[in-house]
Structure 1
């Protein structure tokens, strides 16, 4: 009677041991007496207790392995590179992935080291940054050829970090800063040149307008003088007396303007009370003397040269004998 309960308990545990579950995106390897029996997919599965055992579980999801490699470039700069490899086990090759390769991560790491240390020494440091995608493609190509045999598919490879030596990075930063300062200096020089050219053009335009204004002013002054002389001629004052009168008038107008401006430092010489009359008398005397000289020069005989190189006097018929 004691054996029956024991058998029932053993039977119950054997029944429980016959069932097992497989998670989604997972494959289970079942062996019988140590030999491969079957591959079980996700869901509730049955095995024979004692005879069958679960040898292992294979993850079918995409996995990522980060590999850090230190290598040297063509220009003898040591860099650390981080390569991320995304891979998964092919569902139809679970057997190969489980039995042919014991440490897949170590195998992938070895291939990544081999490819990176073969590609990077061909490039200088600047090209390593520019052609990191080419390095990643080369790693993926090499891994696909090697890992497909073991039931693995390489989804993607990415060069996620390139870290040169700290001294090299500092030198690169200094070069970059110097280049930017050079560019900034060129832009500043160009801006300064534009300002100078613009200022020169503005000054030239100002001088031109100033000269035009002075010319217009003098033209109007001359026109006003002509009109003033004509008005004085109409009342019986000749041109010389009219000119003298205008000059004296302008003299007194200038003195009046100087007196009205308290901040003026201009001194007009002569500035005595009789200066106006003296100036007028001098101008009238100058005009009279000038007329007399002109008349005398008109009355003088002109000298002509004859063929025999002797000088003769050529008298004007209108001159008195």
Structure 2
């Protein structure tokens, strides 16, 4: 029984040393007699006991590495504290095992040095705007250096950029002044537009008033012309009627009578308005004066 137990234990140990189960997204680097032999894939794998050993274990998942905060100097000689996070993935387990001793430490140091170099190329005012450019520069620099490390830099993100307190106060004052300047510009633009609108309204008012006055004058002149024409037409019609009446039998006698009445009436009006009167020499001979007036009427009739 003891012998059987020993054999069973040795058999279990042999199977345990021969069969290796590799989890998903994991790679085991196998060395045979101290030399690289191969990489075990996920699942069940068989190895040679006492000859093969698992030298390295690598996770093929994406890793997030925190880059410690460091002091960087911008191009305008301002010290800022910058930290970030780096995302990488092992793509070649063999190179990750034998290409470098500790690829995590290496990429962390390289990210810090590259960050200092990139921050030193830009001014403080642009460090917040150029985050994407700096991130791409860090990823590109690490990728070029990590070709033989078996890792792939996926992306780098700056988490915080912290200037000194004095610089923060100055930036706040600058931003406040910029906001006040924009407010004044907006206010002046509003006042300008209001003045333009008022001037335009006044202009339209004057134009409309002048158009209304023009139409009024036109209407008044047309009304006056119509009235004058109507009076003239009425006068002409009355004259035609008088002329027609004169040509009838007894018309001239009526004219003589009318002339005599008008003369007597006008001389009566003169006597009322003034005490001094200048009378013609033949004023006593009324018939001769009427005859003279009638001769004028007859001459006009002949014409």
How many residues of Structure 1 are paired with residues of Structure 2 in the alignment?
A: 237
SS at match of 2:120: helix
Report the alpha carbon displacement of residue 212 of structure 1 after superposing the two structures with TM: 0.8
- Counterpart of 1:291 in structure 2 is none
Q: Which runs of 5+ in 2 are unaligned?
A: 240-268, 274-303
Residues 90-122 of structure 1: CA distance to partner in whole angstroms, max 9, x if unpaired?
A: 32xx23312443432222121122112122122
Superposition map of 1:19-58 within 5 A: 19-31=19-31, 36-49=36-49, 52-58=52-58
Residue 208 of structure 1, aligned match among 210, 224, 235: 210
Superposition map of 1:1-321 within 5 A: 1-31=1-31, 36-49=36-49, 52-67=52-67, 68-91=69-92, 94-159=93-158, 162=161, 164=163, 166-167=168-169, 170-171=172-173, 173-223=175-225, 226-227=228-229, 229-230=231-232, 233=235
Residues 32-82 of structure 1: CA distance to partner in whole angstroms, max 9, x if unpaired?
A: 576655432222112344554423311233333343544232334444445
In structure 2, the CA distance between the partners of 1:81 and 1:175, relative to structure 1 (3 Å rule), is farther
In structure 2, the CA distance between the partners of 1:180 and 1:7, relative to structure 1 (3 Å rule), is same
User: Could you tell me how far apart the structure 2 residues matched to 1:179 and 1:78 are?
Assistant: 29
Report the alpha carbon displacement of residue 195 of structure 1 after superposing the two structures with TM: 0.9
User: Could you tell me how far apart the structure 1 residues matched to 2:177 and 2:160 are?
Assistant: 21
Q: Which runs of 5+ in 1 are unaligned?
A: 237-283, 289-321
- Provide the alpha-carbon RMSD of the alignment: 3.5
In structure 2, the CA distance between the partners of 1:168 and 1:146, relative to structure 1 (3 Å rule), is farther
TM-score by length of 2: 0.63
User: Could you tell me how far apart the structure 2 residues matched to 1:179 and 1:33 are?
Assistant: 76
TM-score by length of 1: 0.60
Radius of gyration: which is bigger? Answer: 2
User: Could you tell me how far apart the structure 1 residues matched to 2:222 and 2:6 are?
Assistant: 139
- Which range is displaced more, 116-125 or 211-220? 211-220
